[in-house]
Amino acid sequence: MQSSFPFIPESASTLSGDVDAVYFYISGVTVFFTTLISLVVIFFVIRYRRRNPFEIPRPIEGSTKLETLWSVIPLVIAMSIFVWGAKVYFAEYRPPKNALEVYVVGKQWMWKFQHSTGQREINELHIPVGQKIKLIMASEDVIHDVFVPAFRIKADVVPGKYTSEWFEATKPGRYHFFCAEYCGMNHSGMGGWVVVMEPAEFENWLSGNVSQLSPATAGRQMFESLGCASCHGANGEGGRGPALLGLFGSNVVLNNNQTVRADEGYVRESILNPQAKIVSGFGPIMPSFQGQVNEEQLLQLVAFVKSLSTTKPETPTTKPPVNANVKPSAPH
């Protein structure tokens, strides 16, 4: 909104205007009433001061009208803050479906990013402008937190589960991000830069950096090496274990007749703690892989399971994927 206003960080995402508006509204209400009440206090102190030592004030009777008024007005104001704040909160914490996904692993004291096309980065994240980005985040040790002030987003990264946050950058540039949860000695150094690039520039960056397997491909290799394929079939078609084809995003019926949605958290739990939720029609024979895979490998397995769901393409970008073997096209 106002990058010239010294207390406001630069504003560079589609959400930042909304966050600032709520913030200004709350600040405005606070300043208005603080001023009003202070002035009224000063006015009353002078106006109703004791004028002689024998003065006895007139007794005050209750006033229903007055009491209703001073209950209803604050209620309306408080609810307006709540409703507006909740609206912005939901917009921030519900990642849109068509977002480009980036896997994030925090550990003392660095951030590792992996793009769904395979590129890895440490303490730096390159993304295209004008594209919705969803960060799927895990922690290797303690609680961390990804905070990008210019995008007005901040979310904890908690060991043992996935959390996510999303944003769409509105202008190219370099934006500082921080770990915003005290996580030990080098916490203050645990940050870096989000580099927002023009789409064409980003494509060039991507093709200049392909050196790793995509998370889904790496996940497929682990699926074979860890022996998942022996129960779930080489291509996830099923066998002793349920078919994983089309699993992600679907509703799974469990042996207690409950239904759960197969999201990242469910797949994660299925691998680390298979006994927690048993799929209807199957026995509890799947071993736990706790301790055999780290967070990065787990994210790769999840990415592979995701890629088996054709109903939901793994990374629906607005542009065709960049082919690693093709030289980037002439500068645009």
Binding site for Cu ion (CB under 5 A): 144, 179, 183, 190
> In whole angstroms, how close is the CB of 30 to ligand HEC at the nearest point?
49
301 near ligand HEC, judged by CB under 6 A: yes
- Which position among 279, 299, 303, 322 is part of the footprint of ligand HEC (CB under 6 A)? 279
Residue 143: half-sphere exposure toward Cβ, Cα within 13 Å:
6
Which listed option, Cu ion, ligand HEC, none, makes contact with residue 180 (CB within 5 to 8 Å by class)?
none
Residues 251-270 that bind ligand HEC (CB under 6 A): 252, 262, 267, 270
215 binds ligand HEC (CB under 6 A): no
Residues 33-62 contacting ligand HEC, CB under 6 A: none
Q: Does 245 bind ligand HEC (CB under 6 A)?
A: no
Smallest distance from Cu ion to CB 188, Å: 9
Written in H, E and C, the secondary structure of the chain is CCCCCCCCCCCCECCHHHHHHHHHHHHHHHHHHHHHHHHHHHHHHHHCCCCCCCCCCCCCCCCHHHHHHHHHHHHHHHHHHHHHHHHHHHHHHCCCCCCEEEEEEEECCEEEEEECCCCEEECEEEEECCCEEEEEEEECCCCEEEEEHHHCEEEEECCCCCEEEEEEECCCEEEEEEECCCCCCCHHHCEEEEEEECHHHHHHHHHCCCCCCCHHHHHHHHHHHCCHHHHHCCCCCCCCCCCCCCCCCCEEEECCCCEEECCHHHHHHHHHCHHHCCECCCCCCCCCCCCCCCHHHHHHHHHHHHHCCCCCCCCCCCCCCCCCCCCCCCCC
Per partner kind, with CB cut-offs from 5 to 8 A, the member of Cu ion, ligand HEC, none near residue 279 is ligand HEC
284 binds ligand HEC (CB under 6 A): yes
CB of 203 or CB of 295, closer to ligand HEC: 295
Which partner, ligand HEC, Cu ion, none, binds residue 282 by CB below 5 to 8 Å per kind? Answer: ligand HEC
φ, ψ for residue 11, nearest 5 deg: -115, 115
- φ, ψ for residue 240, nearest 5 deg: -70, -25
CB of 276 to ligand HEC, least distance (A): 8
Nearer to ligand HEC, 151 or 223 (CB): 223
Binding status of residue 233 toward ligand HEC by CB under 6 A:
no
Q: Which does 179 bind (CB under 5 to 8 A by kind): Cu ion, ligand HEC, none?
A: Cu ion
Q: Does 241 bind ligand HEC (CB under 6 A)?
A: yes
Residue 232's binding partner among Cu ion, ligand HEC, none (Cβ under 5 to 8 angstroms by kind) is ligand HEC
Please give the C-alpha separations between residue 300 and each of 64, 181, 227, in angstroms, as whole numbers: 64, 25, 15
With binding defined as CB under 6 A, does residue 231 bind ligand HEC?
A: yes
Work out how close the CB of 202 gets to Cu ion at its nearest, in angstroms, rounded to a whole number: 27
Among 77, 158, 213, 226, binds ligand HEC (CB under 6 A): 226
Residues that bind ligand HEC (CB under 6 A): 223, 226-228, 230-232, 240-242, 244, 247, 252, 262, 267, 270-271, 274, 277-279, 282, 284-286, 289, 301, 305
